[in-house]
Structure 1
Amino acid sequence: MEADILVVDDQPGIRLLLKDLLTNEGHRVLTAKTGKEALDLIYSHSFDLIFIDYKLPGLDGFNVLKKLEGKNRNIPAILMSGMVLPGEETMQLKNVIAVIAKPFNVYNIVEIVRSATR
């Protein structure tokens, strides 16, 4: 199924890799490099899935998802982390469907997206 996906990461290489991978899978992908930029896009577009980095400058991924939950915007989210795997408080967010460590396996990404967009 074709999905609208938002990729949020401050690293250009990660944004490009995920955009190319997901576009090749038939999805429509927008990207953001900050939490504020992500919220602006979420409030102006409709997304089926969000990939978001845990550690973002300024407003981090956890707090972006917490804000969405507070506004009842329960978009399924995949939290990415390159340093520290998020604690238990993260898994209590309703919209987090997976937490993945960077660097990640692209085949795992494809499987997670297929499962989430069925």
Structure 2
Amino acid sequence: MPKEILVVDDQPGIRLLLTDILTSEGYHVSLASTGKEALDKINKESYDLIILDYKLPIVDGKEILEILEKEERDISVILMSGMAENIKQEIEKIKMVRRIIAKPFNIKDFCAHVEEILL
């Protein structure tokens, strides 16, 4: 059974790119373009991994992480950000964040991170 991944990003190009990459690697991918949409999906479905953009409209990535942590959800998260260095300190306490990846990212490295987390 393929692993379930939720990709949360407000940029259609990133969602499309990650869908292509992850489905070609054999994963089942769901998409959300806002934090609110992501939370709705997380409450209805179960995911093995969430690939989450830090900057989102309405409910941002940090708020999603705080909500999931408060609910004690056991989901691994890869956090993506254009300001990866700036957010490391405020995110390092959140255990579900397994990696912080800077945008733009190297596709091979990205796939290696996903595979390592989902093994």
Do these two structures clear the TM 0.5 threshold for a shared fold by scoring above it? yes
Contact 2:88 2:100 in 1 (8 A): no
Contact 1:9 1:15 in 2 (8 A): yes
Contact 1:48 1:75 in 2 (8 A): yes
Deviations 1:81-110 (A, max 9, x none): 024531412111110000001011110111
CA distance in 1, matches of 2:83, 2:99: 16
For structure 1, which runs of at least 5 residues remain unmatched after alignment? none
Aligned to 2:7: 7
What SS does the aligned partner of 1:92 have?
coil
Contact 2:84 2:101 in 1 (8 A): no
Aligned to 1:79: 79
CA distance in 2, matches of 1:79, 1:94: 12
* Larger displacement relative to structure 2 (98-107 or 81-90): 81-90
Contact 2:5 2:47 in 1 (8 A): yes
- Taking structure 1 as the reference length, the TM-score comes to 0.95
Deviations 1:6-53 (A, max 9, x none): 000000000000011000000000010100000000000010000000
Alignment of 1:84-103 (within 5 A): 85=85, 86-103=87-104
Alignment of 1:36-75 (within 5 A): 36-75=36-75
Alignment of 1:16-31 (within 5 A): 16-31=16-31
What SS does the aligned partner of 1:51 have?
strand
For structure 2, which runs of at least 5 residues remain unmatched after alignment? none
Aligned to 1:105: 106
The code of the aligned residue for 2:51 comes to F
CA distance in 2, matches of 1:113, 1:101: 14
Give the CA deviation at 1:2. Answer: 2.9
Aligned pairs, how many? 118
What SS does the aligned partner of 1:93 have?
coil
